[in-house]
Structure 1
């Protein structure tokens, strides 16, 4: 049995379809993320799961039972909002105990339950502190503790790291994954940040225009995207426009718009003569010689140092500016130097050109 299932869930607002027939099954104890750009429908879907919106069609089940007829307070799901919604007039302990008191739990049991959940989020003994005395990361953990003390079947998290600075956000990605493992509770996480989804999740659903483009493990989405949207949205990619000149089994020879022909795997059903986009990950590229149909000539435009994420920017002679990951390659090239950029053809993938691309 799944902790949470959605079956062809649709939400219309007048003539606009925000969520278009999406289905998912989330196993117990897993970390599941919905990843997509702003306006793709992910928050609307989460609000329907929480009970704040009603689907136009479809069904939502928790532990196998439909919850469409239940109001939010009778669904055993809890939600952490982006701005946390902690009560500043209450102490930490009062914040966490609020839901227990509203539910009518025995008063004598509440302090011990608050203490236990604080210990599990790594903040023992802070019951009497005020919310303004906490750091950003501590507030995140208190917001989670306030939900987890109620022992939900599913915890919903709506972009909870969006308001944090970069360094704290990177730290909290690891913290959230550890907390989910510690509580062994199913987390459904909504984000537009592909790094958050890839780092924390067991499974990711990539959403676009109200639909799921692909559902899979992070590595599967990154290495084997099924559409140009997924290839371009998940991780960093260079994109080269062209047209298929010849098909050889699962591989295509693509004549690039700026000149030259390259080899690439066919990622979808694009056929001979079709306009396509060729996607190349920066880490798949190297500076040097290679297969004539897996190299392009250009000039070093910039050398960008960013530790392990350093990049060489190469302006192709007959094409766009592309990024080459720099695992020690920058020492072999100089600004304005003419170079040849190569790759393994198996690591290039082409998809039918997207509308507006």
Structure 2
């Protein structure tokens, strides 16, 4: 079965006046909600124009609330916070890319160059956690875009969120591939001693050349192993996230990834096969055609084998695991490796009983 002839490789070319450096996408197709698409076409005059480096732009959002609720049966949390929209890491396969369509922006270059920050996120979180009747449950951060992408070093929004969660004794499930998390080991370690935090570190490959092409502004695989090592030494429970596993490209290294993560100190592991929702499918196909043209058809056919012959299957119950013989074999390999390495399927339950609204300055403490 060959899927390549039916794949949408005809993405609009990037603006020839823009110079791309360390970007995952090479095009900026219109979002799926946009009625018009913009194409840059030569006008025939052949006037040389100065090429400009495409740089990251940051804008601010001032939402009224910060906690997002969900009822998905495919995830283990019902609430999350995202301090940023878009992600400069530029991972070409990122399932969150289509969320930029809600802003009227592209899932391509816009997603990794036009970042939206929410500077009031810590204050909003404290306000929502202080509401009468708030029912505590683990809060997830890092479920859409990475809270420790490069601009966090300047903005410090994630640091503020951690300070709020620590003060409220609120449990947290944090997922990242950003080395900035090492800055906050003091807060995370303190929360870990109270049973309040799980840390997931995403590790997709050990091949640094592949990682640089596929995740151009994310830390190297060795840096991510160091993140696991230092977090584990700080007493923080760490789960390695082998996600996504890309059939035909990274799946052969699954056992090696789990082994190195276990040596670094990971206590649990999680695995998700690649899924390519909405605009991500053509962007990923275009990336394969540019970087691995001789393997593109094989990889895409392997992805489709996990998804009933399609590049994406959005159905609950299958979208995170895939289905079919190949998906079952991958899941079996993962289970065998985890058993051999003593990697748990999950980390110990977080403590929800410590939660409480801290006293405001000047308030009298309760006696009982």
Higher strand share: 1
Q: What TM-score do the two structures reach when normalised by structure 1?
A: 0.25
Larger Rg: 1
Q: What TM-score do the two structures reach when normalised by structure 2?
A: 0.25
Higher helix share: 2
Q: RCO (CA 8 Å, sep 6+): is it higher in 1 or 2?
A: 2
